[in-house]
A and B are shown apart, each in its own frame.
Chain A
Amino acid sequence: MARIDLVDLAHAYRPNPTTDADYALRPMNTSWRQGGAYALLGPSGCGKTTLLNIISGLVVPSRGHVLFDGVDVTRLATEKRNIAQVFQFPVIYDTMTVRENLAFPLRNRGMPAAAVAARVGEIAELLDLNVDLDRRARALTPDAKQKISLGRGLVRSDVAAILFDEPLTVIDPALKWELRSKLKALHRALDLTMIYVTHDQTEALTFADTVVVMHDGAIVQMGRPNELFERPEHTFVGHFIGSPGMNVLPAKVEGRTADVGGVPIALGRSYSAIPPGRKIEIGIRPEYVRLSSGEGVPVRVERIDDLGRIRFAKVRLGDARLSVVAPPGVRLEDDRSRVSFDPAQIHVYADSRRIEGDA
């Protein structure tokens, strides 16, 4: 159990990186508190797995340090680090029984047999693997195999953190929920630091109390799920979280008004000191745009997507396209539709980063 700090950490797979693009991970400073449930969220190739492998020691970073409770472990071998990692595809030892699989990490560390047996029993109980303990591991279903992988991570009580690398990819959707709630329960019961890599926002938002969004090798925002939703610090977070994502529209902002292609939109705050020469955009979530025939700016409804529980309309405002929530009764043929924005929920971005306005 430990607090994990990443100090000035960066990694490039090729030698002598020069530009930003050469880095799989750009320089970053973060810390992960003991006992936290973190999700590393981002699209494929954004550096999530690299970051995870650096924490577990499978990859040695080209720059910076990894600290566990203040102790520098950057060059310490994985097996000496007290870290557990669960991989995307279940990794089991084919020739061993489930019990032997679970006991393997403990035996390798020379734990006495009685203690191993007790601990294995405990973990098997937690994971509902009791009935299968004496079966050959390779005879089990993929989700049971993944539970064994999880179990091998959990069985060591002294781990600094458990890292999950998209562990539910191969699991049936119905079992995904079950395993995810199991993980959540385990996190509460065992007071372990867990870092969970995924590209699925639902998985990240339901599992973690802190979600870390990564983009292009950099952490763009670290926060609670509702913060990511309400106040995306980066347009990428706005796009990536939420379905559909935030509407981002190029605009000219002056004081309390944004000008989107000639249409003035009122803002909740005043933006006076915007440095010139930056790309200015405003962002608003579809949930905070009201589509009606009454008030607001006129738009053309192009399409309505019915998701069952909720409907989203794609509308056209000048040259810009927006997703907005379509209230019941709105039809595609309504060419006199109008949208109105909730000023408090509009964010202003300069070069993709959110800027704070004055009250």
Chain B
Amino acid sequence: MDKPINNAAWFLILPAFAIVLFNAVIPMMTVVNYSVQDSFGNNQFFWNGLGWFQELLDPSSELGGRFFASLGRSALFSAIVLAVQVPLGIAVALSMPRSGIALALCLVFIAMPLLIPWNVVGTMWQLYSRSDIGLLGWTVNAIGIPFNYTNSVLAAWTVLVLMDTWHWTGLIALLCYAGLKSIPDAYYQAARIDGASRWAVFTRIELPKLRSVLLIGVLLRFMDSFMIYTEPFVVTGGGPGSVTTFLSIDLVKIALGQFDLGKAGAMSIVYTLIILAVCWVFYTVMVTPENKGARE
């Protein structure tokens, strides 16, 4: 049967299109517009072409050097955060009680940090880690280990990693818990009958079944940690020196501290592209073996 084709239906998506245009395309294009111009006071703009991009991607220039240094710090931070939080989250999920009131309490306590706003988390850890009045900082100093995040690189990074782990490991744990819950009992029973060790049960049953939730967990944690701004801004303000100046912090310094809108625009675009690219790579790498198995 021939159906009449009526393209008038396309008009129905116009409102949605208008909203997307307003909240995504137009702001994004503004940034693109800035990135190809140089700005001076008095709202004067001069065409700069791809100049900012060239400078940004050239490590020998002042802007480029700064960009790659903060990019490196952001990448390192994300790598540490993933390496700590993913195994820890899985371990927490595996050791959670299976039922009853203990489970309910456990879920509440694990979810609690997730509900606390970023700047509050930052403030909490800023106070908690201070060497003069903070419980953590004071204690560590008291047992003889010098710990002052305002002048020690290691201490500053430790505080940030601890804080992020405290804040977000619960997310991985909850995701993994849901994933573990969905594994039918028969798998564990079959493993017992097959004489599998606890380690084999983990690597051969649990981990493969957690694959899809871990994919989501790793993606979310990568994006969040790579874009982290508020907490380090509150705790360390990017210091001491610039050792905790991540890309986001550096970007704000350039945009709002120095009012170099062109440089900041170019940096924003490259920053966004990096996140997009890395997420795409993560996704592809983690999804591909599954598809291959199905197609073989």
Interface residues of A (CB under 8 A from B): 53, 56-58, 77-79, 83-85, 87-89, 91, 93-96, 104-105, 108-109, 135-136, 138-139, 149, 152-153
Asked if B194 and A149 sit within 8 Å, CB to CB, the answer is: no
Q: Which of B186, B200, B295 contacts A91 (CB 8 A)?
A: B186
**Given known contacts A83-B193, A87-B190, A105-B195, A93 and B293 CB-to-CB distance under 8 angstroms:** no
Docked Cα-Cα span, A85 to B193, in Å, equals 7
Specify which chain B residues have a CB less than 8 angstroms from the CB of A104 in the assembled complex.
194, 196, 204
Task: Tell me if B294 is interfacial: C-beta within 8 Å of chain A.
Answer: yes
Given A108-B197, A108-B200, A77–B190 Cβ distance below 8 Å? no
Q: Is the Cβ of A89 less than 8 Å from the Cβ of B205?
A: no
Complex formed: what's the CA distance from A318 to B34 in Å?
96
**A-B CB contact pairs (8 Å), 26 listed:** A53-B189, A56-B189, A56-B193, A78-B189, A79-B195, A79-B196, A91-B186, A91-B187, A93-B204, A93-B205, A94-B209, A95-B204, A95-B208, A96-B204, A104-B194, A104-B196, A108-B196, A108-B200, A109-B195, A136-B293, A138-B293, A139-B293, A139-B294, A139-B296, A152-B190, A153-B193
Chain B: interface size category: 20 to 34
Give A77 Cβ to nearest chain B Cβ, in Å.
7
Chain B 158-195 interface mask (CB, 8 Å, partner A; 1/0): 00000000000000000000000000101101101111
B184 near A89: Cβ-Cβ < 8 Å:
yes
List 17 additional A-B contacts (Cβ < 8 Å) besides A83-B193, A94-B209, A108-B194.
A57-B192, A58-B189, A79-B195, A79-B196, A87-B186, A89-B186, A93-B204, A94-B208, A104-B194, A108-B195, A108-B196, A135-B296, A138-B293, A138-B294, A149-B190, A152-B194, A153-B193
Within 8 A of A (CB), among B186-245: 186-187, 189-190, 192-197, 200, 204-205, 208-209
Residues of A within 8 A of B200 (CB): 108
**Across the interface, which residues of A come within 8 angstroms of B187, CB to CB?**
91
Complex interface: chain B residues within 8 A of A93 (CB)? 204-205, 208
Q: Which residues of B contact A57 (CB under 8 A)?
A: 192
In whole angstroms, what is the CA distance A99 to B276 when docked? 39
B246 to chain A, nearest CB (A): 36
What are the residues of chain B within 8 A of A139 when measuring CB–CB?
293-296
Q: For A83, what are the chain B residues with a Cβ–Cβ distance below 8 Å?
A: 193
Nearest Cβ in chain B — how far from A208, in angstroms? 22
Q: Kindly state the separation between the CA atoms of A56 and B190 in the bound complex, as whole angstroms.
A: 11
The 4 residue pairs across chains A and B that have the minimum distance between CB atoms:
A108-B195, A136-B293, A91-B190, A87-B186
Residues of the B chain whose Cβ atoms lie less than 8 Å from the Cβ of A87: 186, 189-190
Q: Contacts of B197 on A, CB cut-off 8 Å?
A: 108
Are B195 and A85 in touch, CB under 8 angstroms?
Answer: no
Provide the bound-state CA to CA distance between A285 and B171, in Å: 62
CB neighbours of A77 from chain B (8 A): 192
Q: How far is the CB of A173 from chain B (nearest CB, A)?
A: 22
Interface centre among A108, A109, A152 (most CB of B within 10 A): A108
Quick check: A85 and B189 within 8 Å, CB to CB? Answer: yes
Closest Cβ of chain B: how far from A79's Cβ, in Å?
4
Given A95-B204, A136-B296: A78 touches B193 (CB 8 Å cut-off): yes
Distance between Cα atoms of A169 and B192 in the complex (Å):
22
Q: Which of B184, B193, B293 interacts with A79 by CB under 8 Å? A: B193
- Taking the closest CB of chain A, its distance from the CB of B201, in whole angstroms, is 10
Closest A residue to B292 by CB, please name it: A136
In the bound complex, residues from chain B placing their C-beta under 8 Å from that of A135 are 296
A57 to B190, CA, bound (A): 12
Q: Which residues of A contact B193 (CB under 8 A)?
A: 56, 78-79, 83-85, 105, 153
- Closest approach, in angstroms, between the C-beta of B95 and any C-beta of chain A? 22
- How far, in Å, is A101 (CB) from chain B's closest CB? 9
Q: How far is the CB of B60 from chain A (nearest CB, A)?
A: 47
With both chains docked as a complex, state the minimum distance between the C-beta of A9 and any C-beta of chain B, in angstroms.
20
CB-CB under 8 A from B195, the residues of chain A are: 79, 105, 108-109
Give chain B residues whose Cβ lies under 8 Å from the Cβ of A105: 193-195
User: Closest residue to A58 on the B side, CB-wise?
Assistant: B189
| Chain A residues, CB < 8 A from B296 | 135-136, 139
Contact residues in A for B208 (Cβ distance below 8 Å) = 93-95
How many Å lie between the Cα of A193 and that of B184 in the bound state? 27
Option from B184, B192, B194, B295 in Cβ contact (under 8 Å) with A58:
B192
Q: Are A88's CB and B186's CB within 8 A? A: yes
Residues on A with beta carbons closer than 8 Å to the beta carbon of B189: 53, 56, 58, 78, 85, 87
